[in-house]
Structure 1
Amino acid sequence: MAKLLYITANPKNDVKRSKGMQIGEVFLEEFKKIQPDVEVKKMHLYDMEIPEIDMDLLYGRAKLSFMGYTFELLSEGEQKKLTEMHALADRFIDADYYVFVTPLWNLGSPSVLKAFLDNLFIVNKTFKNTEHGPEGLLTGRKAIHIQTRGGIYTTGPMVDFEFGDRFLRKALGFLGLELMDSVIAEGMDHFPKQAAEIVAAAKEAAADAAREMALSPARV
Structure 2
Amino acid sequence: MKQILMIEVSPRGKDSASRAVADTLAARLTALHSSAKLVRRDLAAEHLPHLDEITLPAISTKNPAEAERLKDAARQSDKLTDELLESDLLVIATPMWNFGIPSALKAWIDLVVRPGRTFQYSDGGVLGLAKGKKAILVLASGGVFTEGPWRSWDFVEPYIRQILGFIGIVDVQTVRAEGMNIPLLAANAVRKANNAVLELAL
Equivalent in the alignment of 2:4: 4
Q: Could you tell me how far 1:72 is from its partner in structure 2?
A: 6.3
Determine whether 1:204 maps to 2:199: no
Tell me the SS of whatever aligns to 1:55: coil
Shift of 1:98: 1.1
Tell me the distance in 2 between the aligned counterparts of 1:59 and 1:176. Answer: 23
Alpha-carbon contact 2:59-2:114 (below 8 Å) kept:
no
Q: In the alignment, is residue 93 of structure 1 matched against residue 85 of structure 2?
A: yes
Secondary structure of 1:6's match? strand
Q: Residues 117 and 129 of structure 2 are in contact (CA less than 8 Å); yes or no, is this contact kept in structure 1?
A: yes
Question: What's the % identity of the aligned pairs?
Answer: 28
1:216 maps to which residue?
Answer: none
Q: Structure 1 residue 110: deviation in Å?
A: 0.8
Aligned partner of 1:121 in structure 2 is 113
* 1:91-118 deviations in Å (ceiling 9; x for gaps): 2211111111100110101110001000
2:156 to 139, 153, 164: 164
Q: Quick check: which has more Rg, 1 or 2?
A: 1
Unaligned runs of 5+ in 2: none
The one of 131, 134, 137 aligned to 1:139: 131
Q: How far apart, in 1, do the equivalents of 2:73 and 2:118 lie?
A: 18
Alpha-carbon distance in structure 2 between the residues aligned to 1:131 and 1:124:
15
Give the C-alpha shift of residue 36 in structure 1. 1.8
- For the residues of structure 1 that align with 2:75 and 2:173, how far apart are their CA atoms? 34
Does residue 24 of structure 1 match 2:22? yes
Q: Does 1:189 align with 2:157?
A: no
Distance apart, 1:180 and its partner CA: 2.5
Q: Deviations 1:180-213 (Å, cap 9, x if unpaired)? A: 22111111212x133222221111111211xx12
What do the CA deviations read for 1:122-179 (whole angstroms, capped 9, x no partner)?
1121111111110101111111100011012122222221111211111111111133
- Equivalent residue, structure 2, for 1:217: none
- Structure 2 CA distance, aligned partners of 1:61 and 1:44? 22
Task: Please state whether the residue corresponding to 2:31 is helix, strand or coil.
Answer: helix
Structure 1: gaps (5+ residues)? 214-220
Counterpart CA distance in 1 for 2:184 and 2:6 is 30
Equivalent residues of 1:169, 1:179 under 8 A apart: no
Cα distance between partner residues in 1 of 2:26 and 2:53:
39
Q: Which residue of 1 is the match for residue 49 of structure 2?
A: 51
Distance 1:91 1:49, change over 3 A: farther
Q: How many residues align?
A: 202
Instruction: Report SS of the residue matched to 2:6.
Output: strand
Distance (whole Å) between structure 2 residues aligned to residue 113 and residue 72 of structure 1: 25
